[in-house]
Structure 1
Amino acid sequence: MSDTPTLALVSATIDMNYLRPAFEAACPGIELRIWPDLGDGNDIDAVVCWEPPPGVIATLPKLKLIQSLAAGIDHLVRDPALPDHIPLCRIVDSQMASGMAAYVAWAVVHGQRHMGAYLAQQRAGEWREQPVQHPPQHRVGIAGFGALGQACARTLLSIGYAVRGWKRSASEVPADLAAVSLFHGDDQLADFLSGCDTLVCLLPLTEATRNRIDARFLAALPKGAHLVNVGRGDHVVDADLLMALASGQLGAATLDAFRTEPLPAGHPFWRHPRITVTPHIATRTPASVIARQTLANLSAILSGRATEVAIDRHRGY
């Protein structure tokens, strides 16, 4: 870019000041405005967002790029006033994939090897062996078999787990994932779920996947299965999850995403003995990557070129 751009950093839930050093290092002289102090907005070229307040983006008349802070865009497209003529881009980050794979591997091992029980036994001063199951005997299903799902599959395969994947439509996968049992489409969903001792949700959030993990979905899993949700909170019907745990249909849940974040203090997930809560930290993209990709996307748009990570709004990803 020949001229330094003006960017708005907008979020209703996090302090976006943490991005300032990375953008200033990547583009000396850049002007950054952090919501709610956006000025009149007429000279803002791009907006970098995480859960922006509804209607704010529509007040920026000369905007050329809407950049999500993460791989997902559901936090943006639920704004009914979001302009539909402005390119919308997501972050693609190899470090995000490795971070997600590490979290998912931890969650699977933590559940499959009864680590929660061992921690409780330590606090009680109790020496007792839980049942030992070798990884090849434990089937891990990944719902949402895109880049992040495939990274998780590689890590789980390397440990020895039996891995299966499900996605909306059939497509080729890399040769190194030939050991993964693949399923696609609604017609194969029940077969996929029936073989998941642990189910990892990495689905994109679309109208088709919102509330997808409900009572019927959970009933298709083997009794006592473990749910790991690293997708979005709106994938899960909270009441149905609690009922499945109460009945024993679901054995445990590890949750990193919630309908309301931060998770409200009185929410039943906090103190449930078979739910592990983490505060949406499964993986994070470094600020330097966000700055670099945002500026590259803006440069492509200003040069009349298509960006490589533009979103198909009709699909939702």
Structure 2
Amino acid sequence: MTANVLFAGRPDAWPAYEPLLRAEFARLGVPANLRNEFAPEEVDYIIFAPNGPVSDFTPFTRLKAVLSLWAGVEKITPNASLTVPLTRMVDSGLEQGMTEWVAGHSLRYHLGMDTHILDQNGRWEPKAPPLAKDRNVTVLGLGALGTASAQALAALGFQVSGWSRTQKEIEGVSCFAGADGLKEALAKAEIVILLLPDTPATENTLNAETLAMLPRGAKIINPGRGPLIDDGALLAALDSGQVGHATLDVFRIEPLPPEHPYWAHPNVTVTPHIASETRESTAAEVIAENIRRAEAGEPLLHLVDRSLGY
């Protein structure tokens, strides 16, 4: 039986995704009728992004699953009209892009590159940084992106700790969990990387209390989600020197408003939500494989637990 698959991502993404998805369906032998327009009652699967045309799933009466093109699903899970299984995007391109961005900014902090690139002022200070083995880095969030980033940093020789809500075991990474584990993970963290999902339980993970747990002068890197940080608490910690610098890629409001104090703060680097993004070629592989699995009665990959929000 041929499955009807609706592409409901951003309309201008359709020309890029269409040939890739068709090629993957053919490669996997999945009989699929792929379109960007269908009568709702005819649709079996929706390839979805929150910035696409679908927000109400009620008319899709024979829908089997919704397959998100985004890694974050916080904008989808509250939708009461969505009652079928939901998957999120976890693909090799997304992981590789995030790993490269995290490693680059971690090395930037570790090597003190800003001093030489941004703050020359005629000073000659031949002071080499420590080796990576003497630098403590903590990754908050050990899902697919956090694990990949932690493993990459460990491979570079850093002393890497990781924290998650549930206990994980990752080779080369000291893993912590729970409230006591968070305190221990932050206690030696010279660089902190946030890769947690955005849920009510993770909002303001870095706040006045947890920022005070860090060694003085610690650096913050947030490519995860804006609400993970209490902005007022971070600005206060930057002003006091408790936090030495913050590189922020995600924000509660995007684009970041021009009047936001992050823009003008001398110890904040703002990047415009570019740490990583879904790559069409690798995303098409994941989507097609999940539809193959669903049609074959096999478990879906990257299934979202909506009670947890990820």
Q: Give the TM-score taking structure 1 as reference length.
A: 0.85
For the residue of structure 1 that corresponds to 2:42, the secondary structure is: coil
CA distance in 1, matches of 2:33, 2:127: 57
Q: Paired residue for 2:174, among 181, 184, 188?
A: 181
**CA displacement 1:107-150 (0-9 Å, x = unmatched):** 1111122212211135x565444562222221001111233222
Distance 1:136 1:304, change over 3 A: closer
Deviation at 1:73, TM superposition (A): 1.6
Partner of 1:72: 72
Is 2:228 the counterpart of 1:235? yes
Range with bigger deviation, 98-107 or 219-228:
98-107
- 2:263 partner SS: coil
Secondary structure of residue in 2 paired with 1:291: helix
CA displacement at 1:68 relative to structure 2: 1.6
Q: Distance in 1 between matches of 2:93 and 2:219?
A: 26
- TM-aligned CA deviation for residue 303 of structure 1: 3.8
Alignment coverage as a number of residue pairs: 303
Partner-residue secondary structure (3-state), 1:102: helix
Structure 1: distance between partners of 2:8 and 2:53 = 14
Question: Structure 2 vs 1, CA of residues 310 and 195 (structure 1 numbering), >3 Å: closer, same or farther?
Answer: same
Q: How does 1:82-97 map onto structure 2 within 5 Å? A: 82-83=81-82, 85-97=83-95
Change (3 A) 1:196 1:148: same
Instruction: Give the whole-Å Cα distance in 2 for the aligned partners of 1:197 and 1:288.
Output: 36
Partner of 1:9: 8
Q: Does 1:135 pair with 2:132? A: yes
Alignment of 1:92-241 (within 5 A): 92-122=90-120, 124=121, 127-129=124-126, 132-173=129-170, 177=171, 179-241=172-234
Query: Distance between the aligned counterparts of 1:23 and 1:125, measured in 2?
Result: 55
Give RMSD over aligned pairs. 2.6
1:316 aligns to 2:309 (yes or no) = yes
Are the structure 2 counterparts of residues 161 and 102 from structure 1 closer, same or farther at C-alpha, using a change threshold of 3 Å? same
TM-aligned CA distance change 1:30 to 1:274, over 3 Å = farther
TM-score, normalised relative to structure 2? 0.87
Q: Which residue pairs with 1:42 in the alignment? A: 41
Q: Which amino acid aligns with 1:197?
A: E
For 1:282, what is the secondary structure of its paired residue? Answer: coil
1:72-105 per-residue CA deviation (whole Å, 9 max, x = no partner) reads 32221143x342x211012222333232222111
SS of residue matched to 2:66:
strand
Report the secondary structure of 1:276's partner residue: strand
Counterparts of 1:105 and 1:22 in 2: how far apart (Å)?
A: 29
- Relative to structure 1, the CA distance from residue 273 to residue 296 in structure 2 (aligned partners, 3 Å threshold; closer, same or farther) is same
In structure 1, the gaps of 5 or more residues are none
Deviations 1:28-86 (A, max 9, x none): 784432xxxx565332332233334797132442332211213332221143x342x21
51 and 130 in structure 1: CA distance in 2 versus 1, 3 angstrom threshold? farther
Percent identity of the aligned residues? Answer: 36
Measure, in 2, the Cα distance between the counterparts of 1:20 and 1:118.
46
Q: Do the aligned partners of 1:9 and 1:32 also contact (CA within 8 Å) in 2?
A: no
Asked whether the equivalents of residues 73 and 316 of structure 1 are also in contact (C-alpha less than 8 Å), the reply is: yes
Deviation of 1:193 (Å)? 0.8
